[in-house]
Each structure stands twice: as C-alpha cells, then as structure tokens.
Amino acid sequence: MEQLVLEWSLPIGFGLFGLFFLYLQRIGIEAGHWGAAFILLGIGYGITICRIENLSVIKPVVEDSFLLLGTYVMASGVARHFHAPGHRRLRAAIVGAGVVAAAVSVGIFASVRVETTLVQAACGLQLVVALGASYGRWRHAGDRLLYGAFLTVAAALLIQSGIFFVFSIEGGAPNEWQESIWGFIFKVTGAALGVLLSFAILLAVCMNIIERLRSVSHLDPLTGVLNRRGFDEACARLVAQMPTHGMATVTIVDIDHFKTVNDNFGHQFGDEVLQAIARALLAQCGVTSCVGRLGGDEFAFFSATRNVAAATSMAEAVRGAFQETVAHMVAGLDGADAGQRVKIAPLPTASLGIATIVPGQAIASAIAQADRLLYDAKREGRDRVVATPARAAGHDLPSRREPRSERHN
C-alpha cells in the first residue's frame, strides 16, 4: 500500500500543479502552457505505473506519447515565456521520432531499456532546442532561475538516458524493469525534477506579476507613456549610464490652447489630442531615451545621446507630426456644428523647450530650465521650439526656431 501511494504521488502531484497553473491562466496570469504540460506529463507517468500482464506495444507508445507531448508543451512554454522562436516543426519532428522509436523498441526488439533511453533523450532534446533559442532573454532573477531549472532538467534527462542504456539490465517479465532499481530511479528523479520545475515556474510567474505591477505603476494609463515617477527613475538610470563627458537633453512639451480644445470639442477629443502628442513623442524614442507625462497636457522627452542640434530636429519632427495628426482628427469630426467649432476654437499646436544635461546635474534643474524655455516659446507666439542658447550648449545652433505655420495666438 505504501509503495502504491508513493508511486501515484508523482502523477497526482503533476496533475495538481497543472490544475493550479490552469487556474492562474483563468484569472489572467499567463500560465496555461505550464498547466497543460504538467497534466499531460501526469497522465504519462500515471500510465507508466499501471501494470500489464503481457508486454504490449500499445501501453508504452501511449505513455510515451503523453510524456513527449507534455514535454513539447513545456518547451513551448519556455519559448513563450522568454519571447523566443519556438522551432515548433523541429520539436514536433523530435516528438514523432520518439513515438516511432518507442514503438519499434518494444514492438520489434522487446526492449524497455532502449525505449526508455530514446524517449528520455527525445524529451531532453526538445528542452535543449527551446533553451538554445531562449538564451540571454531573461529579464529578472526569476527568469535566470527558471532557465537554470530547465537546463538542469534537460541535462538530467540526457545523462540519465545514457546511464539507463549503458547500465540498465533488460527485464524478462513485463513489469520487471519498472520494479527494478532503474525504475525506482526513474520515478524518484521524475518527482524531483517535477518539483524543481514547479517551484521555478511559480517563482518566474510571480516575478512577472511583480514586474507587470511595477510597470503599470510607472505608466500613465491614458497615453501609455511614463508617469512622473517612472520618468524620473528612467532619467536617473539613463544619466547614470552616460559617459563622463557626455551630454544629454531634456525637452518639455506643452499643448497650446488645450483648455479651449476641451471646452469646444469635448474631453474625449481632448484625450485623443493627448494620445496624439504621446504617439508623436514615442515615435522618436529609442533605447537611450524616454517619454513621460508630467501632468495635464505637459510632457517630457529625455535623451541620453542627443545633443541640442539633434534634439531640436527631433522636436521639430514631433511638432510637425502632431500638427498633421490634429488636422486629420479635425477633418474627421462629425456633426453640423463641427465646422463652426473649428472656426471658433484655435486648433491645438505644440510648444517645446529644450535644455541640456551634463553628468552630475540634477534632472529636476534641467527640467526647470527646459520649462523656462518652453514659456519663452509661449511668449513668442506658441507653436515653436526654443532651445538652450548655442554658446551655452557648446553647439553652433540658433537658439530659436520659427514655426512652420503662423497659426498661433
């Protein structure tokens, strides 16, 4: 009785892990691949434990098919978790080869040893394919632990298959091999590896949830850019990575006539205007820059690599793209009084101020400087870019850029 309980603890445990991960998927946490894989593996291990009176090809092929399919889904989960190429056709070919090898080993050669060796090797190879495509794609410590756990499982499967082939003695009776020391090792290592994977996956899932919550807490929900806290932290990180004699720029962007837009076109149209300027800024964003909404209709763009000339060119591109987007939005307005509202209310434009940042300078002081330049642009008529004076920035660049259009107040 105790032996029976011990044997069935592995497939039952796999099944419970599978149900738990499927539940996580149901409540919105991506874990469905893990759940399906554990259930398939649990069924495969359960069939393995069942005794038969006569050696038959059907039982080994069925149990091995579940084990190979479970590993296939598990490897798919690895690739999906790390956003790596799945190599599905290659892994499907390994599954097919494993099933054929199991059938031939038992049906023709009556060798459980060869069957076990080849099937475990096929399972290990599937994980190796997924791990090879996923190398270096980890995002946090949980990902590294998960990768290490799967690497351990893959290595254990391949090494164990070799040991089985070399040292395992073929049993004469149908159930003799699984009741031997080798069958015991198969069950124990399966349980240990399953528990290792379960906890590694659970930790990685929890870390992903934490990262997602942290990301959401740093984003502005309306525009999708960073909020003030997220922007400050991103700027501090980028400044810390700057070379000793490097120069960065911060651009403050404000939408002209935004209150009038809300009053005359409605808050929904105003929200779309905010989203339009955010998209224009994000289109210019790269790995050494970030975009944030400081509040209301004021945005900030930080670049750790653009000098004043490049930042001004970027600002002009943003201003022009925003004007074109607003023109399309206004042209698409419906309603009999839409044309009248366009005549009454000035269309939103963008004013931008650009300041430089040198290593050691506080981000807040650079933002304040850019904000003062922004209000210079407002005083000069709006819809324009005002940058740090050329001599102050160390570049031969005019400190003012005239607007493309004269439509401003």
In a domain, 176, yes or no: yes
What pTM did the predictor assign?
0.63
Asked if residue 392 has pLDDT above 80, the reply is: no
What's the mean pLDDT when you consider all of the chain?
84
Whether 192 and 233 share a structural domain: no
Q: Which tens digit of pLDDT belongs to each residue from 250-269?
A: 999 999 989 888 888 888 98
pLDDT of amino acid 214: 75
**251 shares a domain with 149:** no
268-272: long-range pairs with CB below 8 Å, 24+: 269/329, 269/333, 271/222, 272/329
46-94 confidence digits (pLDDT tens) = 888 777 666 578 888 999 999 999 999 999 999 999 999 999 999 999 9
Adjacent-strand bridge partners of 289: 303
CATH number, domain at 13? Answer: 1.20.1070
* Structural domain for 259, as ranges: 228-401
Find, among 281, 268, 260, 258, the residue nearest to 333 by Cα: 268
The C-alpha atoms of residue 314 and residue 227 are separated, in whole angstroms, by 21
- Identify the CATH number of the domain in which residue 316 sits: 3.30.70.270
Question: Which pLDDT band holds residue 169 (cuts at 50, 70, 90)?
Answer: low
What does residue 298 show for φ and ψ, rounded to 5 degrees?
-110, 130
Question: Among residues 159, 193, 217, which one ends one of the domains?
Answer: 217
Co-location of 207 and 275 in the same domain? no
Residues 113 and 168 sit within 8 Å (Cβ to Cβ): yes
Q: Mark whether 304 and 342 lie in a shared domain.
A: yes
Local structure of 353: helix, strand or coil: strand
Question: Among the listed ranges 225-234, 244-253, 275-284, 398-407, which one has the minimum average pLDDT value?
Answer: 398-407
Domain boundary among 217, 240, 259: 217
| Listed range (116-120, 137-141, 254-258) with the worst mean pLDDT | 137-141
Reduce the DSSP state of residue 366 to 3 states and report it.
helix
For residue 402, pLDDT over 60 is answered with no
Count of structural domains, the chain: 2
Note whether 249 and 270 are same-domain residues: yes
| Length reported for the chain | 409
In a domain, 223, yes or no: no
Q: Is the sign of the CA dihedral 266, 271, 277, 279 positive or negative?
A: negative
Q: Within this chain, do residues 9 and 112 fall inside the same structural domain, yes or no?
A: yes
Main-chain dihedrals φ then ψ at residue 401, nearest 5 degrees: -125, 125
